[in-house]
Amino acid sequence: MIKTIEWTDEGVVMIDQRRLPSEELYPVFTTYDEVAVAIEEMVIRGAPAIGVAAAMGIALGAKQSAASTPDELESDFNQACDRIAKTRPTAVNLFWAVKRMGEVFRAVKQSGASIEAIQNRLIKEALNIHEEDIESNKRMGRYGAQLLPQDVTILTHCNAGALATAGYGTALGVVRAAVEAGKTVNVIADETRPFLQGARLTAWELAKDDIPVTLITDNMAGHFMKSGQINCVVVGADRIAANGDVANKIGTYMVALAAHANNIPFYVAAPLSTIDLELKSGDEIPIENRVITEVTHIRGQQISPDGIQVANPAFDVTPHRYIAAIITDAGVARAPYEESLKALFK
């Protein structure tokens, strides 16, 4: 069992995903600011995992507060929330977790609880989010596995696995549930430039679980679809708008286009916490641009010449018309998504 993130007395322990697969390191992050930097620098990544890290970072900030009154604690708490909320803009699970922690804080404070009681309640809430995420992934996996044929080759992009969540995974949760249901499953993993989440993380965690995986470069996906070697696509999501448009790791859109052109069902697996009903369409989802050295350098080695421009948008938006179904922890939604997604929240 891969331990992506854990709450300990010393602080938040996370597997350093930048170093995988060559090194399996578990550094401890001892302040909310260290947790924030870990999110920014992608020690931890993947929308649900970012949500858990955000909650634990906020709990850590509250725990370490030297406040002597609940009002002072609130000020420290808000500072931690603000810092955490500024780490990454696209994955909505981050803001969902910040909001949820804030609601708990205010409710407990209003009830007249002591500083220590508030602190303990926040830690409890972060642990709840962690635990619920694993349960939610397992439910999602079961819903998703039912959509797959008995013998299936699944293409996935980026890493929406145990490493992108508290455990089990969203897209790879569907893969794991299909295996557990006795299906014959092969995975084709896009390497996912520039950060190589597919080559480094998806390939690593599937190999660890003895699930057959074939690594390809991102630009090969269309070729394997056209030559009939892929039955369906399952990816995760960083934010889903009310109309079903999906922001996910850069390149997802091209995978969806290739699936559409080849009549291959394209599934998105994500918990309700990834769905942002406040945004009408994917056009409103903010897309993070990251440092260009992620593109120009691989493992510290420069691959491109100096004196050129470089772009590095970390996500793209896949229009809902290319999505066969959105698999959530509350069931499977299909078009028209305006209605089906809203219904899941009831």
Contact region with its own copies (CB under 8 A), list: 39-47, 175-183, 302-310, 332-340: 302-310
Query: CA 95 to CA 55: how far, in whole Å?
Result: 10
| Annotation says 238 is catalytic | yes
* Closest to 192 (Cα-Cα) out of 159, 235, 168: 159
Beta-strand relationship, 325-328 and 331-333 = antiparallel
161 binds its own copies (CB under 8 A): no
Q: How far is the CB of 318 from its own copies (least distance, A)?
A: 9
203 binds its own copies (CB under 8 A): yes
216 binds its own copies (CB under 8 A): yes
* Closest to 53 (Cα-Cα) out of 88, 21, 22: 88
Contact region with its own copies (CB under 8 A), list: 39-47, 79-87, 113-121, 193-201: 193-201
- Report whether 247 contacts 315 (CB < 8 A): yes
What letter does residue 64 receive in the DSSP assignment? T
Q: Which is nearer to its own copies, 124 or 223 (CB)?
A: 223
Question: Which neighbouring-strand residues pair with 249?
Answer: 315
- Report whether 276 contacts 92 (CB < 8 A): yes
Q: Which tokens sit at 69? A: 């009154």
Query: CA 230 to CA 253: how far, in whole Å?
Result: 17
Contact region with its own copies (CB under 8 A), list: 128-136, 159-167, 203-211, 237-245: 203-211
> Applying CB under 8 A, what is the total number of residues that bind its own copies?
55
Q: Which of 226, 280, 334, 342 binds its own copies (CB under 8 A)?
A: 226
4 binds its own copies (CB under 8 A): no
Marked catalytic residue, from 133, 190, 218, 238: 238
Q: Which residues contact 318 (CB under 8 A, 6 or more apart)?
A: 245, 246, 247, 248, 252, 253, 256, 266, 268, 282
Query: CA 84 to CA 54: how far, in whole Å?
Result: 6
Contact region with its own copies (CB under 8 A), list: 31-39, 57-65, 101-109, 294-302: 294-302
User: Contact positions toward its own copies, by CB under 8 A?
Assistant: 21-22, 188, 190-194, 196, 199-200, 203-204, 206-207, 212-224, 226, 250-251, 253-254, 257-258, 261, 295-296, 298-299, 301-313, 316-317
Active site residues: 238
